[in-house]
Each structure stands twice: as C-alpha cells, then as structure tokens.
C-alpha cells in the first residue's frame, strides 16, 4: 500500500502540472477605457510599492494595491501616487472587480481613510481571482487587469483519471455519531434446543455427530426404554446443526442431555454497556457489526436490555438480533459494534477524507473543468465519514474526494506564497 502511495505521488509530480498559486503577472493597462490584456511576467517581475503591494502604473500615475488583514477581515487598501509622490486619497476615485474561478464577481467601491482608500467589503478566501482595477484622477480613467492566483493548479482530465482523482458535489448529508462497543455472538433464545431421553434406557444407535446439519424431524438416535424394552427415536426439533453431542451407543441414560441443536441462521449479539453510556445507547438504535479481523460485517438494531446488571463489570447487556443465512457468523465470536447514537441532517457536508491543510486553514479542493483550487472551510460537527460545512464552499460545487493529497502536493511543490 505504501509503495502504491509513493508511486502515484511520483507519477503526479513528474507530469509538471501548470500551477498558478499566488502568481502575480505584470499588469497591462489602458487609459480612458480602451482594450485590456494580461502580461506574461512571473511574480518576481511584479513591481512593488512602498507598502509592499502591487504597483500599477499608467504614464505618471500609479496605484498600489494591497490587501490588509492584520487584526481585521481582509480588505483592499489603495495608495495613489503621481510621479512617485503620494497623492491625497480624497482626490482619487477607485473600484475593483474580482472574477473568481467559478465566474462569481465581487465588486468593491472605495472611500478615503487618511492617506489611503479602503474597499467597502471583505476580500474572502481564497485570494485567487482575475482583477480589474479602475481609478479616476483629474478627470482621467486608468484601468488595469491582472491575475492573482493562489492554491490553484491545472490538471488535464486524462491525467486526473490516471492518478485516481475523484470528485463529487458538496451537498446535504446525514451525520451519524457512533459509539464503539464489544459484543459476543450467541444463539437467539428460540434458535437452540437441548434434547434429552424421554424415558430412561440404553442408547442403541447414534446417527448424527457434532457439526452435521439436520432437518426438522430427522432421527438423531434410538433409545431402548428400560420399562417397555421398546426402542423410541430422538428427533431433531428444527432445521439446524448439531452443536453438541453427548450421546454414545451403549450408554445408559436417564435425563441428561443427549444433543444440542442450534439454528445458525438465527443469532443474537450481546453487548455489555457501561453505566456512563446507558443514557446514550438505547433500544432501536442502528448498529454496524464487524468481526475482529474485519472480514465480516452486518447491520442490525439494538433490541432490549436485560433487567439485571453484571456484578463483576457493573455493565448491562443489550441484545441485537442478527440474521445469518449463510452461516458465516458462529456463536462464541467476539464482534465489534458501532452504535449510531445520534443522527443529524445538515445542509452542507464534505467527506472527511477530502480535508487537507493549506496555510492555517482546513480546506478542500474545488474542481471547475480542468482547474482545481483551494476552498477554505468553516467547519461544524465531524464524523469519520462526513464533516459539516458552515461556510467557504457553495452547494453543488464539485470537490476532490479521492486522492486530494495529490492536489495539495502539487500546490506545495510550487512553493506558492500568500502574497499581495
């Protein structure tokens, strides 16, 4: 399994995915509302202003774009310059439009605060978008467009299929809280019968032995009565199997057991529940059973508690009826049980296995065609299978559920930073 993991990882990393994490290409611009385009330079070529933001230039006018997020939700702050000299913020009008991977647009208007302009909304995560900036100064409109991506990578569909990347939509789910318990398989109360001689006498013949299947009415042994000296038959009361045989030809028997016949298709599991869990584990709850080695699984529901407490452990025993048509489960087996103690419907949830860490966030990776991009999540209740989502991803959004670690590895391989 470990070899397969690294083989898949190496194959993915070797294909050279086109990653655009936090790439900040040099912005092209036009004045007066003309055509717009994208530059081809990498992040190292992006010109920075005095506040370490992207510096956009048009002739002798400059706008520095920053995202401020120290002690406040992320917000745009713009600084204006003419010929490198700061301009009063109240002399400039500005707006920004962000276009995200799924086509959503975020519009920001700006107002002067001290020596800079502040956007009127929060720049929500991820900070990955195509940016359009407009600024008006002394009657002239300046316009720039550029892309600013983070946590984004491009993977062709054929390659995604080859390395086992799987996706599904975010949607409503039922979260189940479970409690693990141990139990022991036994015959159901009416699935086992102890056969005794009706009259004292000598066993003449024994036809069946332990482990053999029997049918209802089948003769198991013949006994000669001491009183009448006539032979009578011991017959199976049900379809089942000989669990125990104590009868041997030539033995003289009185009222001791001769056979134990059990129906392996009708079993029950006895779970020992500790006092602290008695208010949580109740009859009627669903329980998933598995053998200790995990090869066998089954589902059933809890039945009734026995009305007594075991003195040694102070536990109470609750039953779970189990059908066993193929005879795979046998009495005496120790089993693990996972009891569903709570069920709650939530409007949005993702598979817990899909969650990854990105910077200081727990994330999933959204898919839009051949592009995969990080989504920072606000999370609620979590179970081993599902995790509730309170915010950060839209209903119906396709996200990576299988091999999401490969997306994370490709993004981290790029050495991307969160830089604005």
Instruction: Say which CATH number the domain at 312 has.
Output: 2.40.30.170
Are 336 and 207 members of one domain? no
Are 143 and 28 members of one domain? yes
The CATH number for 254's domain is: 2.40.50.100
Are 358 and 293 members of one domain? no
Are 110 and 48 members of one domain? yes
Are 129 and 164 members of one domain? no
**In-domain check, residue 135:** yes
pLDDT at 415 (0 to 100): 55
**Which residue range is the domain that position 375 belongs to?**
154-172+345-413
Tell me the pLDDT of the chain (420 aa) as tens digits. 444 444 454 454 444 443 333 333 334 443 333 333 333 334 557 899 999 999 999 999 999 999 999 999 999 999 999 999 999 999 999 999 999 999 999 999 999 999 999 999 999 999 999 999 999 999 999 999 999 999 999 999 999 999 999 999 999 999 999 999 999 999 998 999 999 999 999 999 999 999 999 999 999 999 999 999 999 999 999 999 999 999 999 999 998 999 999 999 999 999 999 999 999 999 999 999 999 999 999 999 999 998 888 888 889 999 999 989 888 999 999 999 999 999 999 999 999 999 999 999 999 999 999 999 999 999 999 999 999 999 999 999 999 999 999 999 988 886 555 555
Are 182 and 309 members of one domain? yes
The CATH number for 123's domain is: 2.60.40
Are 166 and 227 members of one domain? no
Q: How many domains does the chain have?
A: 4
Are 109 and 144 members of one domain? yes
Are 69 and 209 members of one domain? no
Beta-strand pair 152-154/18-19? antiparallel
**In-domain check, residue 6:** no
Are 251 and 329 members of one domain? no
**In-domain check, residue 18:** no
Here the tokens at position 223 are 């006994």
pLDDT at 40 (0 to 100): 34
**In-domain check, residue 16:** no
From 287, 310, 343, give the residue that closes a domain.
343
**In-domain check, residue 385:** yes
The CATH number for 356's domain is: 2.40.420.20
pLDDT at 189 (0 to 100): 86
Are 167 and 280 members of one domain? no
**In-domain check, residue 164:** yes
pLDDT at 44 (0 to 100): 57
From 262, 285, 319, give the residue that closes a domain.
262
- Taking the model in full, what pTM does it have? 0.71
From 262, 283, 306, give the residue that closes a domain.
262
Are 319 and 182 members of one domain? yes
pLDDT at 21 (0 to 100): 36
**In-domain check, residue 8:** no
**In-domain check, residue 113:** yes
């Amino acid at each position: 399994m470990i070899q397969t993991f690294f083989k898949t990882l190496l194959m993915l990393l070797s294909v050279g995915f086109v990653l655009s994490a936090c790439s900040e290409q040099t912005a092209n611009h036009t004045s007066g509302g003309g055509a717009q385009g994208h530059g081809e330079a990498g992040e190292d070529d992006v010109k920075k202003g005095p506040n370490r933001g992207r510096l956009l230039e048009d002739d002798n006018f400059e706008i520095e774009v920053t995202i401020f997020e120290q002690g406040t939700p992320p917000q745009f702050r713009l600084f204006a310059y003419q010929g490198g000299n700061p301009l009063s913020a109240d002399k400039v009008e500005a707006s920004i439009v962000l276009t995200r991977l799924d086509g959503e647009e975020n519009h920001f208007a700006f107002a002067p605060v001290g020596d800079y302009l502040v956007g009127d909304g929060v720049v929500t995560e991820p900070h990955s978008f195509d940016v359009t900036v407009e600024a008006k100064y002394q009657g002239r409109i300046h316009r720039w467009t550029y892309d600013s991506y983070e946590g984004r990578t491009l993977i062709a569909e054929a390659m995604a299929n080859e390395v086992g990347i799987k996706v599904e939509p975010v949607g409503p789910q039922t979260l189940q809280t479970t409690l693990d318990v141990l139990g022991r398989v036994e015959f159901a109360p009416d699935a086992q019968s102890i056969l005794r001689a009706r009259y004292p006498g000598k066993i003449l013949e024994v036809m069946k032995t332990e482990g053999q299947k029997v049918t209802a009415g089948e003769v198991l042994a013949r006994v000669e009565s001491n009183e009448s000296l006539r032979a009578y038959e011991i017959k199976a009361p049900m379809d089942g199997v000989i669990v125990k045989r104590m009868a041997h030809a030539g033995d003289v028997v009185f009222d001791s057991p001769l056979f134990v016949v059990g129906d392996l298709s009708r079993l029950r599991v006895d779970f020992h529940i500790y006092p602290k869990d008695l208010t949580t584990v109740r009859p009627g709850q669903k329980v998933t059973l598995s053998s200790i080695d995990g090869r066998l699984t089954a589902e059933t529901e809890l039945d009734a508690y026995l009305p007594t407490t075991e003195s040694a452990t102070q536990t109470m025993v609750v039953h779970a009826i189990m059908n066993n048509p193929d005879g795979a489960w046998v009495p005496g087996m120790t089993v693990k049980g996972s009891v569903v103690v709570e069920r709650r419907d939530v409007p949005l949830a993702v598979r817990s296995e899909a969650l990854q860490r990105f910077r200081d966030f727990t994330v999933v990776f959204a898919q839009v065609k051949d592009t995969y991009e990080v989504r920072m999540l606000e999370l609620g209740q979590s179970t081993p299978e599902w995790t509730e989502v309170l915010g950060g991803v839209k209903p119906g959004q396709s996200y990576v559920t299988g091999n999401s670690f490969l997306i994370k590895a490709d993004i981290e391989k790029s050495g991307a930073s969160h830089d604005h």
